[in-house]
Structure 1
């Protein structure tokens, strides 16, 4: 009796979307990677290489979404946005007619750097999106660091900076509530240039949550008061502005059941809010990370 040969899965087709950042994966369902170790390992390696991965037409239930993201690491809730009651760690980011058009997303940011251990990454699924608009932009902050002028890289090599949830999510809260939020999440101190724990890349690690340097006021950096303030602020603004350089970016147009997976350690992102009052509904699983070094 002749047996039918078992089908052998071919390698994932990863289509690069820019010269340094982002790839769209074809011929793969993330739900399959929940139980397929080889498939999951290949996706993880592609994530390290491309920093953000995109997939369309994903038949992904909420349970599958959480299960796949959990393979990347433990999931974490958001202290302001909360999470789905039936799927801890799955945050609903719903912008509909009942929502206030807040502006937390449409700033270039790295998720939750106001944590001592910011997220390793996230898996974001599109539930509903406008016919036009509502794109998301990601930025390669390793490339941003590589292309800084040499004297700037030297200047910032040992600098550290504060990141704040109070000054971002807390800004619209009454003072007492804002102060309680800061008590729960005191402003952590992170290196301005972090090293990726898996690839070894150097990454420019300042974003919209970053408020100020903590060790800039030294004899090497400050001759006069002008060098400290506004000098330090001008340097910080220059560094934060690097994320706005188009050569470091990739832009993704969402469709229902499309998914993005990104490495939060080496990228920033920006959710374009150009669609109001149209509806945009997303669900995100955030993966706990390590302490930046």
Structure 2
């Protein structure tokens, strides 16, 4: 296996690897997982495995889960179909920096995404290294956010376009989750900046140490959250991947955010993703 880093901050292409072989090879799987933890996201071309093999490989990382809003393959539970077509010109939800399912109590550890069909140009996906984003924060910001916690909401994101009855039912099924603003990576021990497009507000900001007058709390907390979320926008923390059919991305959802660039209407873009259940952030 050849490992070709794509930027100084994040991302590497793995060459000479067939992911289907890693279903049964412990050594190959261990090497892929090690490269994933090192580079945050790894990419492969020309992976012609079946849907069953896609699920079987992803399950080596852990159990898989379906998405409550995005459709899944009925024959392969845990394989989410992200299909975009010219008939959906206003379906642009993916073009926001986010970490998958942080609205869950235990967000996903990672994902294995395969391109089924893509436009001839456009439709790239970008990832950002949120461990590096935390590392480079000013020291006074690190001190300010060390004990902060924040809410993450599916109701305020996927649920926003639903009729109120369905939106409230979605929230009842998936109540807003609360996570630390700075998360510790369960494998590497690194500190991760852990707020994104699903984050609505801090839950323990309004204390005498932080709020002297009303404006310290509002807009003070809002301004701080906006600043933290914007760290993913910094190009020096990013990698951008151009899709081809049968290209695959595997990413560490704990340590990264990603952004699906919606610049390809009126073309088709069909992706299939296996999401791997993670642990409760600490």
Of 219, 226, 232, 2:221 maps to 232
Within the candidate set 85, 88, 99, 1:96 is matched to 85
Q: Please name the residue that 1:72 is paired with.
A: 61
The corresponding residue for 1:9 is none
Q: Does 1:283 align with 2:272?
A: yes
Distance, in Å, in 2 between the alignment partners of 1:101 and 1:123 is: 26
How far is 1:82 from its partner?
2.9
Structure 2 equivalent of residue 263 of structure 1: 252
When the two chains are superposed, the root-mean-square deviation of aligned CA atoms in Å is 0.7
Q: Counterpart of 2:60 in 1: which secondary structure?
A: helix
Among residues 40, 50, 54, which one is paired with 1:61 in the alignment? 50
Q: Distance in 2 between matches of 1:178 and 1:78?
A: 15
Match for residue 204 of structure 1 among 184, 187, 193: 193
Deviations 1:116-155 (A, max 9, x none): 0000000000001100000000000000000000100000
Shift in Å, 1:100 = 5.0
* Selected match of 1:179 from 168, 175, 179: 168
| Contact 1:23-1:50 within 8 A present in 2 as well | yes
- Contact 1:95–1:101, Cα closer than 8 Å, also in 2: no
- Verify the 8 A CA contact 1:54 1:258 in the aligned structure 2: yes
Q: Which runs of 5+ in 2 are unaligned?
A: none
CA shift, 1:102, in A, is: 1.4
Contact 1:23–1:52 (Cα < 8 Å) also in 2: yes
**Rg (Cα) greater in structure:** 1
Match of 1:82 among 71, 83, 87: 71
Pairs within 5 Å for 1:7-86: 12-86=1-75
Deviations along 1:247-282, one digit per CA (max 9) or x if unpaired, are: 000000000000000000000000000001111000
Structure 1 runs (4+) greater than 4 angstroms displaced: none
Structure 1 length normalisation: TM-score? 0.95
Match of 2:154 in 1: 165
What is the TM-score of this pair, normalised by structure 2? 0.99
- 3-state SS of 2:59 partner: helix
Q: SS state of the match for residue 147, structure 2? A: coil
The SS at the match of 1:217 is coil
Return the alpha-carbon distance in structure 2 between the equivalents of residues 203 and 18 of structure 1: 19
Could you list the runs of 5+ residues in structure 1 that have no partner in the other structure? 1-11
Aligned residue-pair number: 282
